Each structure stands twice: as C-alpha cells, then as structure tokens.
C-alpha cells in the first residue's frame, strides 16, 4: 500500500461524533448502527495497533458471547464498509483491513480528525510559548476554537475511551490557561471573558474558568458583576456537590472586596440578592437546573420580562430592580435588547406568576415603562402571563 487514497473522511470527535464523506454525514445516515460505530471508534482511537478477533471482542463486548465470533465480526465489518460507502472500492482502500489474522486501521486512507488538529495546535503553542508569545497565542486560540466538548461524548461507559478523553481535556485546560496568561499581558480582557464564557458552557464545574472570568471582569472595572458571579457559582457548588469555596476562590473574593468600587457600579449597603450573568452563562445554569430537575424533581421556572417602552436607562433600572428583589438563589440575564430572562430555583409555575406580579407591582416608572412576563416552567413553554405598569 503506497500513498494516500483519494477518499477523504472528515471526522469530528470533540463535543460530538460525525464522519463526513463528500459533504454527507455518514453518522446521520446510519444513526441506529450503534454497535458498528462503536467498533469504528475503537479502531479510530487505536489506529496504530492491530487486534485479533478475540482481542477486539474482549475490549468491546466483554459481557457478550458469540458461537461464531469470527463470522460475526466479518459480517459487522461488511456492514461497516456499507455505511462508509466502501463496498465498491478496492480492498486496499477500505478503512479497516484484515491481514495475517489481525484487524488494522488502513493508514493509507486519508482522514482529517479534529482532535488530531487540536492536539497539534496545542503542541505548536507550547513550542512557541517562550520565544514567540504572539504565535503561541494564535495556536492556542485555534485549539480552543476546535474544542467543542468532551472527546466522543456519547461513549459513556466504555473504559477504553476514558484516558483519551482526559488527555484532550487536560490539553484544553492548558490551552485556556496559557491563552489567558498571554491575553492578560496584552490587557485583552474582553477576549478572556469570551473564552471563559465558552469554557463555562463546556464545563461549568471547572473552577479555573470561573476564576479567570471573574478576574477579567474585575480588570474591566466590573467588580459588581464579578462579585455576583462569585455568589452564584459558589452557591451552585455547594448545592450540587456540597463544596465550600476553595482557598483560591476565597483569596480572589478578598481581592475583589478590597478593591475600591467606582460610584456608577458601587454595591449599595444592602448586598444584592440575585445574580446577573451573561446569556451564555445563563444557558449553562438553565441546563444544569434542568438536569437537576430530572434527577431530583426539584422545581425551577424560567420567565421573561419584556420592556415595551424601551430605553437604556429603563433597562438599567429594571436590572437594578431585579438585583434587589430576587433571591440569592435566582439568576437573570439580559436576553436581548428589550428582554430579561429570569431563572427561579425551587419555584413552580404558579409561584413564578406570583413572583412576577410582585416584581412588576414593585416597579413603577410612570409612562416610560411597561412589561409583561412569559413563563416557562421546568423547561416547558407556557403562554405569556404578566401585567403592564403604566
């Protein structure tokens, strides 16, 4: 076998799994063939190794027994070639070959794998880190953009993927850490905030992302936002995992509270209860509340406040109003130009209606303001509810 075949497979493994050939998703076309794709993924991960039929079965189907293992594997390989649209190709162009009693990945088949490119970008960043920080940053940012989530996330219980998944996750953490350091030296705090928001969407449990996010907010003078995020995420850690703030988080809190706060963003004498966050973080928190609801049945509700007579001063007044009148366990975001989204933990739809009535009843801006609240309880859309203030 010499050279690469003309067939090119684009393989996505980070955050989702897909195999694309000639702009056609083969996974979408054969999404029900779970066992065949599992075989494909195993050989993709171990494409520099070879396996006898028995060793393949021991790795993939240890709890199953076959009276004719070799025949079963031959049939599965044939079906896999059909899915990969290789049934009419020359044998030397097949992705998986059987040679001298072993199944092997055909190295002459041209493939492009996102995790390979991701790993190479991180390696290039490491290479340039000391001598050319600008070039290192470019590679780290490219790597970060490629990482959409866990490696082969649909493989939940297969032991052979765990170490590989952790390897790519460690590389992602390193890329984010080094990129943040390099961006900090350039005072590019907006870019740090963007990176950390995306990272939090991927893994809200990783403390480092929150620490860098709060530091970047503070560096931009948004101390109130940083403190509110601290309250929200430490509360989440305690509710979900029973964890108290780590030493590094406590030290950051001491720094944030020791800094002078400018008058426009000063925290008033009473500490704000609710947490205001960016829309991307709000989405992540909403997803976590939904998962918690599925596990424990604990209520939550999401509602929307729409400002009919829009102006930026009115939006700021409503933001301050929500900060002062919602509970510490609640969070909200500015969803779009004239709308706030509010998440209430532990509240069902009826309770949320009462809370919205109280919120709007306590807010009075004369003729400059009117609003209505639409309710979404436990993730299910309801009709618009609420009242207007004139």
Kindly indicate the confidence band of residue 377, based on its pLDDT and cuts at 50, 70 and 90: very low
How does the average pLDDT of the chain come out, rounded? 82
Distance CA 29, CA 130 (A): 46
Which pLDDT does position 273 carry in this prediction? 61
Distance CA 178, CA 122 (A): 10
Residue 259 domain flag? no
Q: Report the number of distinct structural domains present in the chain.
A: 2
The string of pLDDT tens digits covering residues 256-287 is 887 543 333 333 333 346 677 778 778 877 77
CATH number at residue 26: 1.10.10.10
When comparing pLDDT for 302 and 294, which is higher? 302
Which of 113, 146, 175 marks a domain boundary? 113
Residue where the block lists tokens 């509710």: 239
Looking at residues 330-339, what average pLDDT do you find? Answer: 86
Whether pLDDT at 98 is above 70: yes
Least confident stretch, 60-64, 156-160, 331-335, 361-365: 361-365
Does the structure show a pLDDT above 60 at 386? no
Residue with more model confidence, 197 or 321? 197
Domain finish residue from 71, 94, 113: 113
Q: Is the pLDDT of residue 4 over 90?
A: no
Core vs surface per residue 284-322: b (16+ CB within 10 A) or e = bbbebbeebeeeeeebbbbbbbbbeeeeeebbebbbebb
- Read off the pLDDT of residues 26-52 as tens digits, 9 standing for 90 and up: 999 887 788 899 999 999 999 999 999
Q: What percent of the chain clears pLDDT 70, i.e. is strictly above it?
A: 85
Q: To the nearest whole percent, how much of the chain has pLDDT over 90? A: 43
Q: Which two tokens stand for residue 203?
A: 């893994």
Instruction: Please indicate whether residue 13 or residue 242 has the higher confidence score (pLDDT).
Output: 13
242 vs 236: CA distance, rounded Å: 9
Please tell me which residue, 68 or 193, carries the higher pLDDT value.
Answer: 193
For residue 332, list its beta bridge partners. Answer: 276, 342
Domain CATH for 346: 3.30.70.270
Q: Give the domain extent around 41.
A: 8-113
Domain end among 80, 113, 146: 113
Q: Is 191 exposed, middle or buried (0-12, 13-18, 19+ CB in 10 A)?
A: middle
């Amino acid at each position: 076998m010499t050279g690469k075949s003309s067939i090119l497979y684009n393989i996505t493994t980070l955050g989702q799994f897909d195999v694309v050939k000639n702009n056609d998703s083969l996974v979408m076309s054969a999404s029900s063939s779970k066992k065949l794709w599992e075989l494909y993924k195993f050989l993709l991960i171990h494409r520099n190794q070879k396996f006898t039929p028995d060793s393949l079965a021991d790795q993939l189907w240890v709890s199953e027994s076959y009276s004719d293992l070799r025949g079963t594997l031959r049939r599965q390989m044939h079906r896999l070639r059909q899915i990969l649209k290789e049934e009419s190709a020359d044998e030397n162009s097949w992705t998986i070959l059987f040679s001298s009693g072993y199944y092997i990945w055909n190295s002459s088949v041209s493939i492009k794998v996102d995790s390979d490119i991701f790993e190479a970008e991180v390696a290039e960043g490491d290479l340039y880190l000391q001598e050319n920080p600008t070039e290192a940053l470019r590679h780290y940012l490219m790597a970060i953009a490629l990482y959409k989530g866990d490696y082969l996330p649909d493989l939940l219980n297969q032991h052979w993927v765990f170490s590989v998944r952790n390897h790519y996750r460690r590389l992602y953490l390193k890329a984010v850490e080094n990129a943040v350091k390099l961006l900090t030296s350039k005072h590019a705090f907006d870019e740090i905030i963007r990176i950390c928001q995306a990272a939090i969407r991927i893994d809200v449990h990783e403390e480092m992302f929150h620490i860098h996010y709060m530091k970047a907010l503070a560096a931009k003078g948004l101390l109130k936002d940083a403190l509110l995020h601290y309250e929200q995420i430490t509360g989440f850690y305690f509710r979900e995992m029973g964890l108290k703030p780590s030493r590094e988080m406590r030290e950051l809190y001491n720094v944030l509270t020791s800094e002078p706060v400018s008058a426009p963003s000063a925290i008033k004498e009473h500490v704000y209860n609710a947490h205001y966050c960016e829309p991307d973080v709000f989405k992540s928190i909403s997803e976590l509340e939904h998962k918690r609801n599925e596990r424990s049945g604990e209520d939550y509700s999401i509602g929307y406040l729409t400002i009919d007579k829009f102006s930026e001063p009115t939006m700021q007044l409503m933001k301050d109003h929500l900060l002062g009148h919602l509970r510490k366990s609640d969070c909200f975001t500015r969803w779009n130009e004239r709308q706030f989204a509010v998440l209430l933990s532990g509240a069902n739809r009826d309770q949320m209606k009462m809370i919205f009535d109280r919120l709007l009843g306590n807010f009075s801006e004369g003729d400059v303001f009117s609003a209505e609240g639409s309710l979404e309880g436990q993730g299910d859309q309801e009709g618009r509810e609420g009242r207007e203030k004139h």
